[in-house]
Structure 1
Amino acid sequence: MNHREPVARRMFELTEPISLVNFFSPEPNDAMAALGFANYWDGYFAGRSAPLGRVPAEVVHAAFYNFADGEVARHVPKVWDTTTPEAAHAARERGCVEALRRILAGAVETPELARAADLLATASTGAPTEGRVMYAALRALPVPEEPVARLWHAANMLREHRGDGHIAALVTERIGGIEAHVLSALDLGIHPAESFGRIHHLPAAYLAEVMAGLRDRDLLDAAGRFTDAGRATKGRIEERTDALAEAPYEALETAELAELISLLEPVAARLGAVGSNSEEVG
């Protein structure tokens, strides 16, 4: 059903902390290391791309969108010499569930968490898959029965659904993957944008070329900050991303959505408090 007020931004704030345990908690990294991965990025590409199966690096690069040329190919398909996509996804899920159980402690055994997991699963499986590559890949997997795993899986599906829409918004504005990191960095108040953690490792000459291209389009000024046009472009991207992320929540009645928000607020608050204090965030 259509809700009176847009809800995607609020739901992103509540579900993103659930997904982010994959990045700020040790358990997911440990689970991937147990498969034989010696570094974080092998585990990252194996775990996240696993639902796509054994596809070429070019496909993962297209689906993930925001990595520089050649970065994906350093890991895919090499990671499948170490494990299978099925084992990689299972390990990622297992590690994230262990992290959630540790952080949320006694809350994981409550009826409230089970209810939140059920409602979130309804939303996460309720949107069309057309044009949503990562979301469709996850939709093809069975939804776990165990409540904590169910909660994580649903949040992960919603994250990739939103990500697919975000890519569509970026493509519409002709913003490439590395350019998107520049705009995000500036939006976060990071200057120079080239120091942003997701891109600072890239060759200086390449980053200079990216920045020059954004200046040529009048999206950045000479100092590498937003112009009015650049800020407006970033605003349109975020607005369109939110609009494209609404569909899953139309599977819930208004009362169910309000209940889900109420149930997720303490979960997100606890996870956010732990994540914001973690040196591994980012």
Structure 2
Amino acid sequence: MFELLEPICLVTYFADECNEEMAALGHRTYWDGYFASRAAPLGRVSAEVVHAAFYSFAEGEAARHIPSAWETIPAKASVAARERGSAASVRRILGEELAGSPGLVRAADLTTKAATSAPTAGRVMYAGMRTLPLPSDPVARLWHSATVLREHRGDGHVAALVGAGIGGTEAHVLSALDLGIYPAETFGRIHHLPTERLAAVMDGLRKRGLIDADGRFTDAGRETKQSIEDLTDELAAPPYDALSAAELDELVTELEPITAALVAVGSQ
């Protein structure tokens, strides 16, 4: 389900329409719009709360955008712009025939059933997304519900990382190595961080035996990474308990052509 739904969510970050909607509101940068819209379902919380909920950003990054991104642009406006832009991207990529098909409507309905059925306890971002109204347009509803499920999975991933004692920047190092990126410090999510900060993170992973002297995975590091991913998958399962086996099979069938179209263009 992650592989089928993730390309739907990625239009928010890769396609142009969402960025254009955010810029039209007055957000100065991509990251202003990102933090303003993604954090908005939490309410007007402090940067410290956003940092805790998002988990993987370095210290101080949330504070560069929160609460300033909400001071002149209402949070609800940013959320609405994200939905408009993302739905427009999905519709453009799919084309009118697929975007307007009964299969997409059914996929939206089943995805929404799953997305609105899991317990919210311990799921901060998921609980926040559940407070937002469901879009009436099927394309927007499919994107929205896929994003709700993405935040549910993200909350579980954070729990898995915390349980394993892996911090946000450390998680990016492990992901980089898992993706074959070496040196891990060149990974796009962390390469901009101060050299001293990255060196401290790498030293900490070495002391724990998760990477070797050259900054590559040890066996223990690979096992730790895999155990986190396995637990993330396990914790992501509850929403789909709301679907019967037949409904789950139907959802997979209806999502496959949608996902294939998005993957073909890199969700752009």
Q: Which residue of 2 aligns with 1:216?
A: 207
Q: Secondary structure at 1:138's aligned position in 2?
A: helix
Q: Which residue of 2 aligns with 1:265?
A: 256
Q: 2:77 aligns with which of 81, 87, 107?
A: 87
Q: Secondary structure at 1:226's aligned position in 2?
A: coil
Matching of residue 178 in structure 1 with residue 201 in structure 2: no
In 1: Cα distance, 2:144 partner to 2:27 partner = 22
Q: Which residue of 2 aligns with 1:58?
A: 48
Q: 1:127 aligns with which of 94, 111, 118?
A: 118
Q: 1:202 aligns with which of 185, 190, 193?
A: 193
Q: CA deviation at 1:82?
A: 2.4
Q: Which residue of 1 aligns with 2:234?
A: 243
Name the TM-score, length of structure 2 as normaliser: 0.98
Q: 1:229 aligns with which of 220, 235, 259?
A: 220
In 1: Cα distance, 2:228 partner to 2:8 partner = 24
Q: Which residue of 2 aligns with 1:78?
A: 68
Contact 1:35/1:82 (<8 A) preserved:
no
Contact 1:162/1:245 (<8 A) preserved:
yes
Matching of residue 33 in structure 1 with residue 19 in structure 2: no
Name the TM-score, length of structure 1 as normaliser: 0.94
Q: Secondary structure at 2:20's aligned position in 1?
A: helix
Q: Which runs of 5+ in 1 are unaligned?
A: 1-10
In 2: Cα distance, 1:20 partner to 1:38 partner = 21
Q: CA deviation at 1:275?
A: 1.1
Q: Secondary structure at 2:265's aligned position in 1?
A: helix
Q: Which residue of 1 aligns with 2:2?
A: 12
**4+ aligned runs moved over 3 Å, structure 1:** none
Cα offsets for 1:223-277 (capped at 9, x unmatched): 101101000000100000000000000000000000000110111111111117x
Contact 1:108/1:148 (<8 A) preserved:
yes
Contact 1:181/1:198 (<8 A) preserved:
yes
Q: CA deviation at 1:23?
A: 1.0
Matching of residue 69 in structure 1 with residue 73 in structure 2: no
User: What is the number of equivalent residue pairs in this alignment?
Assistant: 267
Q: Which residue of 2 aligns with 1:190?
A: 181
Q: Sequence identity of aligned pairs in percent?
A: 66
Q: Which runs of 5+ in 2 are unaligned?
A: none
Moved more, 104-113 or 237-246: 104-113
Q: CA deviation at 1:204?
A: 0.7
Cα offsets for 1:174-210 (capped at 9, x unmatched): 0000000000000000000000000000011110000
Q: CA deviation at 1:211?
A: 0.2
In 2: Cα distance, 1:121 partner to 1:243 partner = 20
In 1: Cα distance, 2:131 partner to 2:121 partner = 13
Q: Which residue of 1 aligns with 2:100?
A: 109
Give 1:180's aligned amino acid.
Answer: A
In 1: Cα distance, 2:263 partner to 2:37 partner = 23
Give 1:197's aligned amino acid.
Answer: G
Give 1:71's aligned amino acid.
Answer: E
